Amino acid sequence: MRVEFSQSIEKLAAEDESIVFITGDLGYNAFENLRETLGKRFINAGVAEQNMVGVAAGMAYKGYKVFCYSIAPFIVYRCLEQFRNDVCFHNLPVFLVANGGGYGYGIMGSSHHTLEDLACLSGLQNVTSYVPAFSDEIDTIVKNISSTARPAYLRLGAGKLTPENSHQSGSFNIVHHSEGAETAVVTLGPITNNALMAVTGNEDLSRHVTVLAANTFPLTMPEDVRKILHNCSQIVIAEEHVSTGGLAQQLSVQLLENGIRPETFVSLRAEGYPDHKYGSQQFHQKNAHLDAESIETVLLNLPQRV
């Protein structure tokens, strides 16, 4: 998604002189086009994320819209206090852009993984978080972040293209809809692609399972999504994030507030490092039962309604 993000910022900055891009010494062989287009509005702040966000807040206070970029754990955890105090409390247009959410940086280990970002940011004031599942969602999200002009977080991963016949409703992209489905899989980010492989690759599951991708937080649940989830007796969550503060926990509140009480609720989530080993993103997804094969197995073994 980094290429699509770079292209979106380039177009936006060419049209809007208030756009500033600050990188934390990252983006080589990826953002040279932005440096060319933005000129002095392209700033390399070096390995100093806290300072980067403080500078961004000052620029935002003066009327600029500032995108701050780094890999996910550095842009979230290192400067959380600056984002909270300098940006969120003042509702300033500073936008954190994180590359490689979840286990995205694989073998580089826990210091480079981001499994608690939504939990850290969701409790902050005035923040909207975006976790796209598909690369062609980026342009719309970037434009929305800029036009809304308030604190935002964008988590980038490795996504495919949005499936045909998908449609956005509130915080959810309904990516596979089965009329009369009794099971719903609700996903976060690119894990959606694994869920789609699991469901559409099995004829029976394809007919009886609906897949929704949650991509905006705080969650908003329009009537059509409420109806889908209300009619499903089984709900399975799949997210590359710990359970605390993640999609499963936040969706649970929405379900209870809307009187939706599924008979079965399964949370598939990042499990950290249960075998004390590091590996590729696919290795960690398989360990957490977030790969397509594991999701299919979970769906096939759900309790059967009599």
Same domain, 61 and 24: yes
In a domain, 161, yes or no: no
At residue 190, φ and ψ (nearest 5 deg) are -60, -15
Domain housing 137: 2-156
The CATH number of whichever domain residue 46 belongs to comes to 3.40.50.970
pLDDT at residue 56 in the model:
98
Inside any domain, residue 306: no
Judgement on whether residues 172 and 76 belong to the same structural domain of the protein: no
Which DSSP symbol is given to 19?
E
Are 10 and 134 in a shared domain?
yes
CA separation (Å) from 73 to 33, 80, 106?
A: 25, 10, 13
Q: How many CB atoms lie within 10 A of CB 14?
A: 11
Residues 173 and 283 reside in one and the same domain? yes
Is 208 contained in some domain?
yes
Read off the tokens for 201.
């690759």
**What is this structure's pTM?**
0.95
Helix (H) or strand (E) holding 262: none
pLDDT at 138: 96
192/57 same-domain check: no
Q: What is the dihedral of CA 15, 21, 26, 27, to 10 degrees?
A: 0
Instruction: Choose one of 156, 175, 190: the last residue of a domain.
Output: 156
171 and 151 in a common domain:
no
Residue where one domain finishes, among candidates 156, 188, 203: 156
DSSP state of 242: -
Q: Considering the domain boundaries, does residue 236 fall inside one?
A: yes
pLDDT of the residue at 306: 44
Total domains in the chain come to 2
Note the pLDDT of residue 28: 79
Phi, psi of 15 (to 5 degrees): -95, -25
In this structure, the answer to whether residues 146 and 189 fall within a common structural domain is: no
139 and 222 share one domain:
no
Separation of alpha carbons 203 and 112, rounded Å: 38
C-alpha dist (Å) from residue 50 to 75, 76, 92, 96: 9, 10, 16, 12
CA-CA distance, 158 to 285, in Å (whole number)?
14
pLDDT the model gives residue 158 = 86
Q: Are residues 92 and 54 in the same domain?
A: yes
User: Does a structural domain hold residue 115?
Assistant: yes
- Give the CATH number for residue 205: 3.40.50.920
Q: Which two tokens stand for residue 123?
A: 């409790």
Same domain, 81 and 60: yes
Strand partners, 174: 167, 212
Looking at the structure, do residues 26 and 137 belong to the same domain, yes or no? yes
Please count the residues of the chain: 306
Q: What is the model's pLDDT at position 278? A: 95
Are 104 and 157 spatial neighbours (Cβ–Cβ below 8 Å)? yes
Contact between residue 240 and residue 102 where contact means Cβ atoms under 8 Å apart: yes
In a domain, 305, yes or no: no
For residue 278, is it within any domain?
yes
Mean pLDDT split into 10-residue runs, the chain, 306 residues: 93 95 88 92 94 98 97 96 98 97 95 97 96 96 97 93 94 94 96 97 95 97 96 97 95 96 96 93 96 97 76
Q: Which of 132, 156, 180 is the last residue of a domain?
A: 156
Q: Are residues 207 and 265 located together in one domain of the fold?
A: yes
